[in-house]
A and B are shown apart, each in its own frame.
Chain A
Amino acid sequence: MQEAALAIVSGLLYGCTLMLVATGLTLIFGVGRVVNFAHGTLYALGAFLGASIHAVAGLLAACLVAPALVAAMAVGLDVLIIRRLRRHGDMAVLLFTFGLGIVIDALITGIWGARSYVVPVPDALAGGVHVFGGQVSVYSIVLAVCSLAVTGLLVAALHRTRIGLYLRAAAENPAMAEIAGIDVDRAFTAVLAVGSAFAAFAGVLELPMIGASNGMDLTVTVLVFIIVIVGGLGSLAGAAIASLLVGVILTLGATYASSAAYLLLFAAVIGMLLIRPFGLIISRSE
């Protein structure tokens, strides 16, 4: 019983870290209309950049600079390429991001080599908390709080500010938004920038916990797509809840029966896609 409770708590914390990545993807998906198969590599890129910046200027600097750099890259790619690619449909953009993922992954290997990077937990946040007969690290709690805070800020910004209104309008009906005077292109670029920054930020934040290593992009990509779909494509609240759910299921699975956990999740993905056949994306392509 205690074991399960501990697993659930760990799972919730884990879910919070996934939430940051999933929020970014949902934003890009639901508001930016881009199926971003490179999202996992952006996360990995953030982690590696963060590791290097940390070596020079500390974790806090890494938290600020790495996401900014990745966001800048996203802006560049959107303005130069994705903007033009959109009119050819969602598949073209999807395949581009898939190729981009390969390129970024190759660049990471090229620049940082095949080695892994480890970053120590900052002293102020070290230590653990005793819970249900086990231990949960202070840092993971801090991470979870950060994720929730940032996600909460984003949701608030989208629903309470004028910029948020413009973004949601642009996502809902680009043609009408354009007529209403909203610069739809710029709105989408902003969304891609923020979404990418979220992924990179998550990568940096997790450095003290899992470091930066090759292949981290693959696991994250699959997980985060599961979350975004189970949460209901494009729904931020859904993605948040799904992240927690997935975190708990996987942690319980790791404790008890790991393959079943993954199978359950994949089945949920396929089930969701069958029941809610991608209305969000279909209604917008062509």
Chain B
Amino acid sequence: MSLLTLDRETGRWSLAGSKATWVVLGLIACLTVAGFLLSDRFGTLRNFSNLFGQAAFLAIIAIGQTLPVLSRGIDLSIGSVIAFAAVLTSGLIDNDPSMMLPVTALVLVLGVAVGMVNATASHFLKVHPLIITLGMAAVLRGVMLVYSDTPVGGTPEDYATFAMGRIMLEEEGLTIDIWSGSGLSLAGVFCLLLYLLVYFFLKRTRSGRNIYAVGGDPDAARLSGISVYRTLLVTYGFSGFCAALAGIYLVSQQGVGSPELAVKAYELDSITPVVVGGTMLSGGVGGVGGTLLGVILMAMLGNLLNFLDISTFYQWIAQGLIIIVAVSIYVERRRRE
């Protein structure tokens, strides 16, 4: 495919790919240049390697949010699922190494189940997912607080491997080490693989294409023989899975799960990279490629502001402005006739 295409209607040449891709790439380039100019620590290999790992958490929740948004919905239960998953993981493992795998599996299954309940309720009660997932968020938060309203349990040191592990190439081959400051972040590599997998799922499988169809026009999808319900199950099941995974990541990183996580509004954080990456809230347009760019942009922004000793408070201002600028550039003007 050529980089330039000619629009037959207007006779104007335009760049291939969506506008969003180019806007975000441009912003990332600006940040990189600014980083090199303003800070001597920014442009180091070590920092880029760190950045790669730091972006993992946002990457996980953002890819989870991408699918519901593509299907013309939204998942606002993500924040509560993260907190619940974290508390449950550390509470159930309770420093028992033999419990690590079963509990992790159980929590992931629970995440998928929560998402499927969201999809089922929204589909059969015909209520917008915004409301359903908001309700679900409240319910889960309550259930979590009933389970424990203080940080509970804990995890063995090995459990930190997921979030903190670094892959290193040594003489005896690839090794994974938790405490090393160098090497590639395991979680970062995991996220890249996850994005690749979901990219192919969305582009090249029927279920993936069905998500675009349902997001584009649910009625048309239904009458084309697509099961809207099954598509939503996949969509919200996946976002629930990612939220649970994000909760596990936090436990892995911090060693313990805290109910306090529920107030951090991660669900709103997850939306920023998605929409900045060009996935439209109106559904059917976008993809995980854009989300990945959005994640990189937000992670770099945080990283750079950090080096410049600018408080995270300003990061919020920048985040809000980026949403406004990006989204108002993407919006297509309504056309008459």
Same complex for A and B? Answer no
